[in-house]
A and B are shown apart, each in its own frame.
Chain A
Amino acid sequence: MIIGIDVGGTHTDAVLLRSNGIEKRIKVPTDPVDLFNTILSSFTRLLDNIDPKKIERIVISTTLTTNAIVQQNMDPVGMIVSAGPGIDPEAFRTSEHYYCVAGSINHRGREKAPVNTMEIEDIAKKLKKAGIEYVGVVGKFCVRNPSHEIFIKRIINKHFKKVFLGYRVSGNLNFPRRIATTHLNTAVFSLHKSFFEAVKNSLEGKGLTAPIQILKADGGTMTLESSMSFPGQTVLSGPAASIMGAIPYAPADQDAIVLDIGGTTTDIAFLVDKAPLLEPVGIKRGQYKSLIRSLRTESKGIGGDSVVRVIDKELIIGPDRHGPAMAFGGPDPTPTDALFVLGLMNDGDQKNAQKGIEKIARKLDVTDKEAADQIFKKCCTVILKKTFEMIDKLNSKPVYTVHEFLEGYKISPRKILILGRPAPYFAKKIEELYHIKTDVVPEFSVANAIGAALARTTCEVCLNADTEQGIVTAHEEDFAESISKTYSEDDLIETAYTLLKEKAINSGADPDDLDEVEVVELQKFNIVRNFSPRGKIFRTKTQLKPGLIKGFEKVLQ
């Protein structure tokens, strides 16, 4: 049996699955000041009358890191950044203890200016004096050559509890995002560590010995141990859980839209042939940009509990939420109240809902029913408009080769999958308004927990070969080997797959789930100097795709 838990902002959903179906499902309110207790009580209820020895897998998705960022509740940590030529790294300052230092590596990974040992020692002293315990070190182009980061770590390691290096974060280029991501890992590490150690101990106390997996933003899992090196990857795993829960119902060989309609927001995502689309570089939320692999989702501030207002005769929905719907004792009229007035929902206080919608109707000068209908329609149009904007944006993504330009894949979804509490009502309305086949995901109210439970391990490996310099590297994996001039594309892919599979197993993947690997990018270049070829550059990015583990297909029938 396996357990999936998704601790959301308002609710925590948990499921206990057998290979032939759902054994238990629970939904409890999240206690935002005591997530630990929320998780523990969920486990207690799930395991009531269940032998803990029979649990083989536990996957947890939490808002722990997300909350820490939102509430600015992160540890003060030190950052040492070496940039070389380019944009002034001061622009990427993460915190008070942020130091820009000498040293420069260029785009080919060649050292252009050395690290100044005295300077680093001096900074280490200052950081120690300020009571800093954790430090992040990031160099520009460290993914091409991490020697400066490693050297700096060697100088300062003995002074601090843990030093995080930028090159371990991702094989992708993007210095500012690498700084932000390394800072996040460094700053949430102690919180993440103490929280999950406590969870682990308590679960062991309950007799649960199955390995704990943590859900990541890319809809994949990692072991608790590997999460300690990259705690930032757990940020925004919530939306990922829901999308993973929709996958079984997506059409094969077709594109689909996933809408997760919550209380405050609606998350929008896309599936292509049952595989979720990923962000090309990493999580982006407003000004915050990172190298954290993530599903491509966007949130629209509209949900069942969004506040409905009339401004200048125009209906405005959201983006704020002031509490539950009036039908459930809330202060302001909401789309949920509209559903009550339309007679679609009836498990709350019908009178209160009516009172709320009446206010809106008076301002719009229409009947209550008409007002409710307008609110409902407006919700659907706003969500779908945002969805279509996202599709346009996806399809106008720049490409860098003639081949991609001419063969570029355009997504054109034929189906919508909806989850969330008001899913059934929205499905009907959207289909009526837009004539797109719209299905409600079965078990839509706990699909997120099912998604978490069944998500498989994901990972990515970037590999670069440079036959002029005679080296193939995946620094992120601490891999470097010398190569000859005859090194080929096939050699590259073989090495990349070997590294990928090794990484996947180390992150807790089931050996049976390793066949879903793919080449995401592959480029090759002749190095030409003075009209003669000097060698070749090969670059590839391979990944173990997000998807579901095998053996639980029946759960979903």
Chain B
Amino acid sequence: MLQALHKTGLVFFPAFDWAIDPTHPEREERLLYTQDQVTEEGVFDISGIIEYKPELVTNQDIRRAHFCVPDEKTVTTESHLISAGGAKAIADAVLNKEVKSGFALVRPPGHHSMRISHGGRGFCHINIEAIMVEYIRSQFGVKKIAVIDTDCHHGDGTNDIFWHDPDILFISLHQDGRTMYPGSGFPDELGGPNAKGSNLNIPLPPGTSTEGYLYVIKNCVLPVLEEFNPDLIVNSAGQDNHYTDPLTNMNFSAQGYAKLTSLLKPDIAVLEGGYSIEGALPYVNLGIILAMAGLDYSGVIEPDYNPERLKQSVSITDKIKKTTDIINSYWNQRNKLRQKAGSVGELAVRHREIFYDTDNIFERQKEKVRICRDCGGCFEIDSTATPGHHILAVHIPINACKSCIEAGYKFFDQADKSKFNKVVLQDRTKETYEIK
């Protein structure tokens, strides 16, 4: 009789009746074969593996992580609320210590959704990990959290949401942005002035295999994690690094994903992308579940797996080693970089343009953040998007210092309401979301 070494929670929500559109990769069928494999393996019968039912996230949950424009209801469907609610249910199970760790196998994904969401980008409407992380911080008072994004696409949404937050270590490993959507996630994208180095972006060359991927984990991610010493580790477990994925060009394997999981030891894993739904997902998901539960996963091998064919070239290995060295040196200089970013009380300004490929929206942002050494700093974002929405979003971080709280309210009070459709204040210290 199989017995999990670590009690493991699973939320399985394949949303069998929801698709972006009938032929879109983010479709009903996506987790069908995964469900077949997991059911046939009898995973839910293993003693110590507990299946949880997803919840439905509320507007309050969404408003901790997002400014939805024009509002939450327009941006989301029920499926998004359940998907984020699946992550939330796992968070509850883990933080209430019912299980040691948990995996939310849910769809649709969320890691391309930024703090301001005008609609769908990269198949994502709301950021399910960010909503979960903010829920955990508010509900359980956890301070330091690491989010490791192993999806093949840069987790630019999560990166954006925690850009200014020194308490959240965000690391994204992804296929090089020069060859892959969304085209960002380069090593010098290190976070805002108050949080330099708490965002690490590790681009990997196309053709990276299991060997190269695990090299980065062992030589960069694990040492950084050890130093950051988080209270909780979250894994955005995208599965599109797989050698059979139709949208990417990597050579990762089910065994690699399982090893990655046993090295990273995430408290919570949340499914992100992965579109090789027959050849990869059934095996990768099974491997991750077994690894989390501390069970033998050595037999989880794709039927057509051929390590010889997937071997990476020497030049790829060299490139990966170089990138790892660069990232490590940025990490070691993080305090210096923050000092250099400006002096306390100054406002750092950033202009950005964001394209929403799924919903065909174009957004311009002007962001002002208060430079601060005591907290992540309050900020305001002036956002205009093509359908005509114009908002001013003010954010006060959860651990904000007194000066940043005051400055945040000043942003909000001084905003000229007539210039915007909406002026919104997200005060995380008081859990409020005020609209004027």
Bound pair (A, B): yes
**Is A263 at the interface (CB under 8 A from chain B)?**
no
Interface centre among A88, A112, A175 (most CB of B within 10 A): A88
Asked if B2 and A85 make an inter-chain contact with CB atoms under 8 angstroms apart, the answer reads: no
Residues of A within 8 A of B14 (CB): 400
Asked if A525 and B32 make an inter-chain contact with CB atoms under 8 angstroms apart, the answer reads: yes
A140, B40: Cα distance in complex, Å: 7
A104-B303, A173-B36, A400-B14 known; A86+B41 contact, CB < 8 A: yes
A91 interface neighbour in B2, B19, B33, Cβ under 8 Å: B2
**Is B188 at the interface (CB under 8 A from chain A)?**
no
Binary flags per residue of A92-106, CB closer than 8 Å to B gives 1, else 0: 000000000000101
Interface centre among A177, A289, A527, A528 (most CB of B within 10 A): A528
A525, B29: Cα distance in complex, Å: 6
Asked if B39 and A173 make an inter-chain contact with CB atoms under 8 angstroms apart, the answer reads: yes
Say how far A394's CB is from chain B's closest CB, in angstroms: 11
**Is A416 at the interface (CB under 8 A from chain B)?**
no
Asked if A526 and B35 make an inter-chain contact with CB atoms under 8 angstroms apart, the answer reads: no
Say how far A438's CB is from chain B's closest CB, in angstroms: 30
Asked if A175 and B23 make an inter-chain contact with CB atoms under 8 angstroms apart, the answer reads: no
**Is A49 at the interface (CB under 8 A from chain B)?**
no
A161, B27: Cα distance in complex, Å: 49
A175, B44: Cα distance in complex, Å: 12
Residues of B within 8 A of A174 (CB): 39-40, 42, 45
Residues of A within 8 A of B314 (CB): none
Binary flags per residue of B73-91, CB closer than 8 Å to A gives 1, else 0: 0000111001000000000
- The size class of the interface chain A forms with chain B is 35 or more
A287-B1, A396-B53 known; A87+B12 contact, CB < 8 A: no
Interface centre among A396, A399, A530 (most CB of B within 10 A): A399
Q: Which of A128-136, A182-190, A266-274, A402-410 contacts B (4 or more CB under 8 A)?
A: A402-410
Asked if B41 and A526 make an inter-chain contact with CB atoms under 8 angstroms apart, the answer reads: no
Residues of A within 8 A of B82 (CB): 402, 405
**Is B331 at the interface (CB under 8 A from chain A)?**
no
Asked if A87 and B27 make an inter-chain contact with CB atoms under 8 angstroms apart, the answer reads: no
Binary flags per residue of A388-429, CB closer than 8 Å to B gives 1, else 0: 000000001111111101100000000000000000000000
B283 interface neighbour in A85, A527, A531, Cβ under 8 Å: A85
A405 interface neighbour in B37, B52, B78, Cβ under 8 Å: B78
Residues of B within 8 A of A403 (CB): 17
Residues of B within 8 A of A396 (CB): 53
**Is A113 at the interface (CB under 8 A from chain B)?**
yes
Asked if A526 and B28 make an inter-chain contact with CB atoms under 8 angstroms apart, the answer reads: yes
**Is B130 at the interface (CB under 8 A from chain A)?**
no
A83, B32: Cα distance in complex, Å: 20
**Is B301 at the interface (CB under 8 A from chain A)?**
yes
Asked if B39 and A85 make an inter-chain contact with CB atoms under 8 angstroms apart, the answer reads: no
**Is A546 at the interface (CB under 8 A from chain B)?**
no
Asked if A397 and B53 make an inter-chain contact with CB atoms under 8 angstroms apart, the answer reads: yes
Asked if B17 and A141 make an inter-chain contact with CB atoms under 8 angstroms apart, the answer reads: no
Asked if A523 and B45 make an inter-chain contact with CB atoms under 8 angstroms apart, the answer reads: no
**Is B356 at the interface (CB under 8 A from chain A)?**
no
A177 interface neighbour in B18, B42, B296, Cβ under 8 Å: B42
**Is B246 at the interface (CB under 8 A from chain A)?**
yes
Q: In the complex, how many residue pairs between chain A and chain B have their CB atoms under 8 Å apart? A: 126
Asked if B282 and A398 make an inter-chain contact with CB atoms under 8 angstroms apart, the answer reads: no
Asked if B15 and A107 make an inter-chain contact with CB atoms under 8 angstroms apart, the answer reads: no
**Is A8 at the interface (CB under 8 A from chain B)?**
no
A528 interface neighbour in B29, B78, B282, Cβ under 8 Å: B29
Asked if A86 and B53 make an inter-chain contact with CB atoms under 8 angstroms apart, the answer reads: no
Interface centre among B51, B52, B299 (most CB of A within 10 A): B299
**Is A171 at the interface (CB under 8 A from chain B)?**
no
**Is A108 at the interface (CB under 8 A from chain B)?**
yes
**Is A452 at the interface (CB under 8 A from chain B)?**
no
Asked if A402 and B15 make an inter-chain contact with CB atoms under 8 angstroms apart, the answer reads: yes
A85-B302, A400-B35, A525-B16 known; A533+B41 contact, CB < 8 A: no
**Is B342 at the interface (CB under 8 A from chain A)?**
no
Asked if A107 and B40 make an inter-chain contact with CB atoms under 8 angstroms apart, the answer reads: yes
B33 interface neighbour in A83, A107, A177, Cβ under 8 Å: A107
A402-B79, A530-B246 known; A107+B278 contact, CB < 8 A: yes
Asked if B78 and A86 make an inter-chain contact with CB atoms under 8 angstroms apart, the answer reads: no
**Is A84 at the interface (CB under 8 A from chain B)?**
yes
**Is A176 at the interface (CB under 8 A from chain B)?**
yes
Residues of A within 8 A of B45 (CB): 174, 176-177, 289
Asked if A537 and B40 make an inter-chain contact with CB atoms under 8 angstroms apart, the answer reads: no
Say how far A148's CB is from chain B's closest CB, in angstroms: 14
Asked if B12 and A398 make an inter-chain contact with CB atoms under 8 angstroms apart, the answer reads: yes
A108 interface neighbour in B33, B35, B56, Cβ under 8 Å: B33
Say how far A330's CB is from chain B's closest CB, in angstroms: 36
Asked if A175 and B41 make an inter-chain contact with CB atoms under 8 angstroms apart, the answer reads: yes
Asked if A402 and B78 make an inter-chain contact with CB atoms under 8 angstroms apart, the answer reads: yes
A88-B296, A177-B42, A526-B23 known; A398+B29 contact, CB < 8 A: no
Say how far B165's CB is from chain A's closest CB, in angstroms: 32
List 10 A-B pairs, Cβ < 8 Å: A85-B302, A87-B2, A107-B37, A113-B303, A173-B39, A175-B41, A398-B51, A398-B52, A402-B17, A525-B28
**Chain B residues with a Cβ under 8 A of chain A:** 1-2, 11-19, 22-25, 27-29, 32-33, 35-37, 39-42, 45, 47, 51-54, 56, 77-79, 82, 246, 278, 282-283, 286, 290, 295-296, 298-304
Supply 5 further A-B pairs (C-beta < 8 A) apart from A91-B1, A398-B52, A528-B25: A175-B41, A176-B41, A177-B42, A401-B15, A537-B32
